Amino acid sequence: MAQFNSIEEILEKYIPKEELQKVHRGLYGFDIQDPSHYLKFDPKVKDLADKLKLEVKSFRFPALAEELRKPRIVRIGAIQNSIVEPTDAPIRAQRDSLIKKISSYIAVAADCGVNVLCMQETWNMPFAFCTREKHPWTQFAESAEDGPTTQAMRQLAGRYNMVIVSPILERDESHGDTVWNTAVVISNTGKVIGKTRKNHIPRVGDFNESTYYMESELGHPVFDTQFGRIAVNICYGRHHPQNWLMYGLNGAEIVFNPSATVDSLSEAFWPIEARNAAIANNYYSVAINRVGTENFAHEFTSGDGRSAHHDFGHFYGSSYVTAPNGARSPGLSRVSDGLLVVEADLNLCRQVKDQWGFRMTQRLDLYAESLAKAVKPDFQPQIIAEK
């Protein structure tokens, strides 16, 4: 099936302008054609982005003006990208070409005034976990604290006064050289604040990730930065509402969801899950997906009766941000590299809590008791049948 650029383009092409305004309000929570919802950048941003063939989109979420609190305005950035070198190129060449590419995109983000930025899952390598081959792919794994990717991102974070979330394949040399799916959180000072790891590992279709790494043992950390309290729910964790819940309970105001997912599997889920999480937990959610089709030298099967194949499928991008009130930005392209810049007032998190009272009515005690029973071997579901 031929790929299309974006849902937004199709809607604009076929729906009359007057009706499109109503459609946008229903789909996004705003009339996204209203120019007040978009940011204005220096003309050099467009020139540089065009040179890099980088789509740049922006959006602004409004919040109420308060008498006792100043606005807490933050610009959030999300980068989606395709790989540069073919997957059979030398490992160093693949990694370094992506570091160079993303570094140029981060420079554009800096020109857009981005304060806190996240890339897609394992952004500095192809998403090779479909192959089940340990080599050469585990050679991409590196130290979260001082590996070459982290060193490069630390320099950029300090240079641009920007918090950078860098999802990588981690090699933990202190614990038996184990491999993890990790996101490194780097302060705007250039120092590593900490790291978090993928809590839920898929075992579906070509997502053979448990061949390489297992579930995180680090819990649901929230990182207190100059630009708000942030957390990282890596990829498959978005399918688990409890995962999103815990970041909210730990005080997150922005939760990034760096992902790698393909159109044949999850595109129907994509616009829903991160948006639902933002609503249920009163924070901003940032869904980021890679783009392109990555081909591998050796065929692999999916265990579903289909013929062996050389590619995972099409990574459909479509990265977007949702506000705590459920309004969401338009998405980036399904087919090209992109930078999404969203201006948000973090005061909106509390404002929505006050409006809806979700936390007040959450009944954590009720569910804690029920879940404590559900994990026991002798658990019986509470089903009542007619006698």
Dist CA 298 CA 321 (whole Å): 36
The dihedrals phi and psi of 155, each to the nearest 5 degrees, come to: -60, -45
Sorted by sequence, the CB contacts under 8 Å of residue 321 that are 6+ apart come out as 59, 61, 76, 78, 284, 285, 286, 287, 328, 329, 340, 342, 344
Question: Which of 8, 112, 118, 121 is an active site residue?
Answer: 121
**91-111 vs 148-160: helix axis angle to the nearest 10?**
10
Dist CA 323 CA 307 (whole Å): 42
CA dihedral (344, 348, 350, 356) positive or negative = negative
Q: Is 198 a catalytic residue?
A: yes
Dist CA 140 CA 328 (whole Å): 34
Q: Is 121 a catalytic residue?
A: yes
Q: 67: exposed, middle or buried (C-beta count within 10 Å: 0-12, 13-18, 19+)? A: exposed
Query: Tokens 């630009």 — which residue?
Result: 227
Reference 235, options 306, 186, 295, 287; nearest CA is 287
Q: Is 215 a catalytic residue?
A: no
Question: Which of 57, 101, 195, 198 is an active site residue?
Answer: 198
Question: Which of 235, 253, 273, 294 is an active site residue?
Answer: 235
**Do residues 290 and 81 lie in contact, with contact meaning Cβ atoms separated by under 8 Å?**
yes
Annotated catalytic residues are 121, 198, 235
